[in-house]
Structure 1
């Protein structure tokens, strides 16, 4: 990976471990698909791969968030309970606002969460409220599917196309 990636995947590591590295593979496939569609390298930061032995992990995460173009949030109940995920999200929201953009946080709904589904709970939680205002990709129906299924491949291709379009300054 380059010193600084283009995207940053904010997720609860325990969700990836529970699903035997599915989110890691998902990130790799998305990165590869963006590259396939654009011809340009598209590195996505993931803590388990991009923080070297001896690095101050909090500092490395802050440094990367400050320079990435996209924050990809993998939404699960653990995401909302994770202080690092909340800090990553809140930091990037400020950067996105400073750029005058509102389309650089890309939520992926991975595991059903009452915090996001229940309006009262969502409104009482700042992160859930802000995520609830964004259109998200619903990966819940694909969670137990291989990334080699046609449905998963098509969805990854669609996400890559959307990222490529945003990378070129596309804004609705």
Structure 2
């Protein structure tokens, strides 16, 4: 509610649908460009946070990565808050996976992460660069603990341990 004005299930489903529909538009040729200021800040912050990033790709799709990540986050929250049932959860996860495969499968998770961080920078550059640092520190923790190398089965096993 605080971030996206989602009060009920239909709001959630519509908002996530809009995010998925936005992906082809964000993939337009003029969106595939470099963002020199964002890249410089990410380089600087990743050095400070000791985050290992796959840097400096020829093209970037920051808003595809950003909207795809937002869709995943909202679907997770929606399922957690009982706004989505398990079947809807599974359908959305498949749609997220398909979109990831469409836009990032040939370049990998490292590029997805980098493009997402560029979008976070662009979204918060004027008011809150701490949001970029926060995400980098979080990514560093995931890397230090090898969580990014785990399979989904291994991650699920970790969550079921007492």
TM-score (norm 2): 0.34
Structure having greater relative contact order (Cα 8 Å, sep ≥ 6): 2
The structure with the largest helix share of the pair is 2
